């Protein structure tokens, strides 16, 4: 069983408003991520909220996902990863996928591809813009190390440390993420957002 953690606790400082609630098509970025995850083979689905939780939680509270609140969100992404891993470990998972809510082109097919590849590979990472990153799958044997992350550290150093264990999957649209209003404006102008 492959668990999935959506990391959505950041304060979107550069954007100036919660990116989780930006509209992508007819849904918010976070709703889109949650529904994409729910349509995949992954379970359980954990959503980690933090900053602006009170205005974000209502947008996904009707979805059958496990929402956890990260009171330490200001520490950085590592605190959300630790909390998500602690939650997912309550289930008999063989692997876990980490994903963000601000990559609007993550598809259910991509998540299923990661889960399938994870049956035979310890780490499966997406590749875009000449780098490897999220969504990324880790076999259960790495969960303890993920719980040791600190500060604004993501899981990238584990990809470097265990490079021989990583299968890379091309995800050209993975480089499209929303960090600023300029990013959001570009997507809207490209016709990919309405």
| C-alpha distance from residue 182 to each of 47, 104, 136, 137 (Å) | 26, 15, 26, 30
Query: Total structural domains in the chain?
Result: 1
* pLDDT at residue number 115: 98
Q: Name beta bridge partners: 191.
A: none
CATH label of the domain that carries residue 48: 3.90.550.10
Whether residue 46 contacts residue 68, with contact meaning beta carbons closer than 8 Å, is answered with yes
Only one residue has tokens 């209502």, namely: 58
* pLDDT at residue number 194: 41
pLDDT (tens digit, 9 = 90+) per residue, 96-135? 999 999 999 999 999 999 999 999 999 999 999 999 999 9
* pLDDT at residue number 191: 60
Residue among 62, 33, 35, 47 nearest 3 (CA): 47
pLDDT (tens digit, 9 = 90+) per residue, 182-194? 988 888 777 654 4
**DSSP strand pairing (23-24 vs 2-8):** unpaired
| 77: Cβ contacts below 8 Å, ≥ 6 apart | 7, 10, 149, 152, 153, 154
Only one residue has tokens 């969100």, namely: 73
Whether residue 169 contacts residue 114, with contact meaning beta carbons closer than 8 Å, is answered with yes
Q: Strand, helix or coil at 134?
A: strand
Only one residue has tokens 């050209």, namely: 172
* pLDDT at residue number 186: 84
pLDDT (tens digit, 9 = 90+) per residue, 51-86? 999 999 999 999 999 999 999 999 999 999 999 999
Domain enclosing residue 31, as ranges: 2-190
pTM: 0.95
């Amino acid at each position: 069983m492959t668990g999935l953690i959506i990391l959505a606790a950041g304060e979107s400082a550069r954007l100036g408003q919660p990116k989780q609630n930006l509209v992508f098509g007819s849904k918010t970025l976070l709703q889109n991520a949650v529904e994409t995850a729910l349509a995949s083979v992954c379970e359980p689905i954990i959503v980690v909220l933090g900053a602006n939780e009170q205005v974000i939680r209502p947008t996904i509270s009707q979805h059958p996902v496990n929402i956890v609140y990260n009171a330490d969100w200001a520490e950085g992404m590592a605190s959300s990863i630790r909390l998500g891993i602690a939650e997912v470990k309550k289930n008999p998972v063989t692997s876990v996928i980490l994903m963000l809510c601000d990559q609007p082109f993550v598809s259910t097919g991509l998540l299923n591809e990661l889960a399938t590849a994870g049956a035979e590979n310890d780490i499966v990472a997406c590749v875009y813009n000449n780098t490897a990153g999220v969504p990324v799958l880790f076999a259960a044997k790495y969960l303890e190390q993920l719980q040791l992350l600190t500060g604004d550290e993501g899981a990238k150093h584990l990809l470097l440390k265990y490079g021989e264990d990583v299968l890379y999957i091309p995800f050209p649209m993975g480089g499209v993420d929303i960090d600023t209003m300029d990013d959001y404006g570009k997507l809207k102008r490209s016709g990919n957002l309405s």
